[in-house]
Structure 1
Amino acid sequence: MRKPIRKLSALLLTGVLAAVSLSACGGNDGETGGKKAQTGSGSGKKTEILFWSPFSGSDGPFMKKLVDKYNSSQDAYKVNFVIQPNGEYYKQLDVALSTGKERPDLMIMHVDSVPTYQSKDQLQPVDELASQAGINPADFAEAPIKYSTIDGKLYSLPLDIHPVLMYYNKDLFEKAGITAPPTNRAEFEAAAEKLTDKSKGVYGYVVPTLWPQQFIFPSLVWQNGGELWNGTDVAYNSPEAVEMVEWMRGLIEKGISPSNVQQDGENTLFLQGKNAIQFNGPWMKSQYDEAGLNYGVAVMPQIGKAKQAIYAGSHGFVVPKAVTDSAKLAGIGDFLKYVAGNSLDWAESGQAVASKKVLDSAEFKAMPFQSTVSQSFEHVQFAPNVLNWGTVIEPVWGELSNALLGKKTAQQAMDDAVAKSRQAMK
């Protein structure tokens, strides 16, 4: 159960920390929703449901496919799927929820945004909706269910979990005589040194100075026994956190990584076969497939000294509090029941879905990439349970970049980040 959340005053509502691209699909096994009945009015007219998502990348067609299949599977409901631009999604959502103008009946929300919108009294619990549709929260991965349970009530039904992963260039690994991906710091450092050939402009691990540090840095801090939030205050200037910043800077100083990596520079080099290892999310799969890379994927190694921990995001379905029409709520439940059992196409996009039924299926287990993604589930952690966390932690990314570029020491950069975060919380 989630305890009451610490409220931060004088903060503007912000969007989600990381904008990521995902995908979706559908099918029907005869057990997951879909009705051939008329609506409650008996008029024969389908109940329409407006469904918003931020899937404006290559993921959009997959979710559209799932929605289209659902709409074809029954004649009681019609889900109208609308894609809002990912970068503007929460701004558009804020306007719709506050004004009621073109407000969605159902929407995708990142799990770490649920506490903020719940605290603004804009979401309704989905417990009753799920119960009436025959959806059991125990049939989903535990982490997002636990995170979205606030004061004993569930506010989101998860679609997927997307943890940071380790991608590696199989050709470079073979050339270096490395037969398996590293699983800990010692193996990682040894592999990265072996894989580096500066005479050819090839690096073992290119340290990103910006995105996707939003996934990498928290993972390293948690792995090393540190915290981003200690229960009352930001804590990313702790010895455990600073050590991980110094570790990344050390890779640059050793020449394992180039020294001035610009935005997406590590990914560009990976695509060019000049970066042997990259930490990134499942959403990169389609890009690497299209590029024809001979790559492998593995669980992110445990670099820190304390435990395995992997930062993750998650997409879930939420319902605005203002939706009270019983026919719409029944239709939403029917659609979500369908999605829970028919998301293999979503998985085929590279995502590991949250539905245990799909995770346990032979079809999913036969997907090597997705199965690897799901191996991280027992170790995933989400953003701290703090309202407007995106605003609170925002100073870290600029200061972390300063440290990785050698403009500040790791301690000074993290001290400055903490000071700026505390100022933002006033």
Structure 2
Amino acid sequence: MSMWRQVRGIAAATILGTSLVLAGCSSKSTEKTASPSASGKQEITFWTPFSGADGPFMKKIVDAYNKESDKYNVKFQIIPNGEYYKQVDLALSTGKKRPDVMIMHVDQIPTYQKKDQLQPMDDIASKAGIKASDFVEAPVKYETIDGKLYGVPLDVHPMVMYYNKDLFKAAGIEKAPTTREEFVAAAKKLTDKDKGQWGFVMPTLWPQQFIFPSVVAQNGGKLADEQGKPTLNSPEAVEALTFLKSLVYDAKVSPEKVAQDGEVTLFLQGKNAMQLNGPWMKDQFDKAKINYGVAEVPQLGTKQKAVQAGSHNFVVPKDVKDAKVLEGVGDFLKYVAGHSIDWAQSGQAVASKQVLASPEFQSLTQQQTTVAKEFDYAIFNPPVVNWGAMTGDLYKEINLVLLGQKDAKKALDEAQEKALQVK
């Protein structure tokens, strides 16, 4: 199972046209001494949370780099995703057994930057020949804070729509829906309760962290204002949640009280015609040999196209100061930027423009190219410190609404009140 499916509760400046700049930082008590590996190469410790099906794809990249490099050896460490940020917090706060470079979700970067635990990536990138313009704009803009870049993007993973081609054909539906009206009409046509078949199975838990914000944004709303104050109970948010609830209790295209991963189970059984989920589902669906298609997320909101996305990024802890290690990190990131086609094989659309434009990427399956099309209107969680804590109760309240136990406005009012208490 992919890392993002295991995450529960997790959740812009001008793009730099010049080479990026990395500032060295000081912390004498916690700095590690650079040491060679058994092969005589400089060792670079690399942490990731890729404990699901995506792990082997990153390992393939690391292994290829280690084989090619005559100066550096990247020590690849996977930390189970559920424990990842606990271990990151421990390592960064104590300075013990911390990595030299690690993967961080883009919406976590503002919090760790605010805690002064990350260093700007500009200088190391510049020395390695990496430029901001090498990558798609959205994550670069997000992780540029006070004019400094705090991450180097690996990918952008917006939600997509999966649909069962066989069920679509049997229902006489020739193409994936693109609007709210088309979506509801298709879902009704695809629902056959006598067969236990549903047009769209509504998740009550994960991945609502992608579905709900997408519809809010499609309504023209935001979950936080420009000052970083949460706006979880805006009219746009209430309308979004009311609509999602209506698919279960009014349109009746979804069963009630869907348990965690219930929508996936039914999709695997051929009983769920459409589902909204992430690119990380590709490997599981491929192995199950489902005849599925991938489409851009329909505009379920009322005003515009938008889709919630995440992004994996490389970051460097503030206390990494050894010049040889930093040079090795830069060399590795330069390699990944040019060779992330192997990461794209996992179902992700990579952030490297060089790879996105390559014939190898263009020849991949419909999924990767569909994900890349969504880059133009992808959104991330608001760049607010402690956003995960602010929205912890939000998704508990959404769960109650989708279970039919609470009114949408009342639930979002209570989530807003609790969010305002988080500092």
State TM-score, norm by structure 1.
0.89
Choose which of 257, 260, 265 in structure 1 pairs with 2:257. Answer: 260
C-alpha distance in 2 between matches for 1:240 and 1:336: 40
CA contact (8 A) 1:311 1:382 kept: yes
C-alpha distance in 1 between matches for 2:40 and 2:323: 15
CA contact (8 A) 1:17 1:390 kept: no
| 1:206 match | 201
Show CA shifts across 1:188-219 (max 9, x none). Answer: 11111111111111110111111000000000
The CA deviation at 1:18 is 7.3
Unaligned runs of 5+ in 1: 1-15, 21-38
Unaligned runs of 5+ in 2: 9-33
Runs (4 or more) in structure 1 with deviation over 2 Å come to 16-20
SS in 2 for 1:424: coil
| 1:336 match | 333
| 1:185 match | 180
Please say if 1:114 is aligned against 2:109: yes
CA contact (8 A) 1:18 1:214 kept: no
CA contact (8 A) 2:6 2:82 kept: no
Query: Which amino acid letter does the alignment assign opposite residue 19 of structure 1?
Result: V
C-alpha distance in 2 between matches for 1:315 and 1:289: 23
SS in 1 for 2:194: helix
The CA deviation at 1:231 is 2.8
The CA deviation at 1:72 is 0.6
| 2:231 match | 235
The CA deviation at 1:40 is 12
Residues 416 and 17 of structure 1: CA distance in aligned 2, closer, same or farther (over 3 Å): farther
| 1:216 match | 211
SS in 2 for 1:51: strand
The CA deviation at 1:17 is 11
| 1:6 match | none
Show CA shifts across 1:323-362 (max 9, x none). Answer: 1111111111110000001011110110100000000011
Please say if 1:156 is aligned against 2:154: no
SS in 1 for 2:421: helix
Choose which of 177, 192, 196 in structure 2 pairs with 1:197. Answer: 192
Number of residues of Structure 1 aligned to a counterpart in Structure 2: 390
| 1:29 match | none
Show CA shifts across 1:282-337 (max 9, x none). Answer: 00000101111110011101111111111000000001111111111111111000
C-alpha distance in 2 between matches for 1:117 and 1:133: 24
Please say if 1:247 is aligned against 2:235: no
State TM-score, norm by structure 2.
0.90
SS in 2 for 1:123: coil
Choose which of 101, 105, 111 in structure 1 pairs with 2:100. Answer: 105
The CA deviation at 1:405 is 1.4
Choose which of 48, 55, 58 in structure 2 pairs with 1:60. Answer: 55
C-alpha distance in 2 between matches for 1:299 and 1:350: 14
SS in 2 for 1:375: helix
CA contact (8 A) 1:116 1:388 kept: yes
Give the root-mean-square deviation of aligned CA atoms. Answer: 1.7
C-alpha distance in 1 between matches for 2:61 and 2:349: 16
Give the % identical residues. Answer: 60
Please say if 1:93 is aligned against 2:81: no
| 1:347 match | 344
Residues 17 and 93 of structure 1: CA distance in aligned 2, closer, same or farther (over 3 Å): farther
C-alpha distance in 1 between matches for 2:46 and 2:410: 46
Query: Which amino acid letter does the alignment assign opposite residue 311 of structure 2?
Result: S
The CA deviation at 1:408 is 1.2
C-alpha distance in 2 between matches for 1:216 and 1:71: 39
| 1:373 match | 371
| 2:276 match | 279
C-alpha distance in 2 between matches for 1:74 and 1:275: 47
C-alpha distance in 1 between matches for 2:291 and 2:5: 31
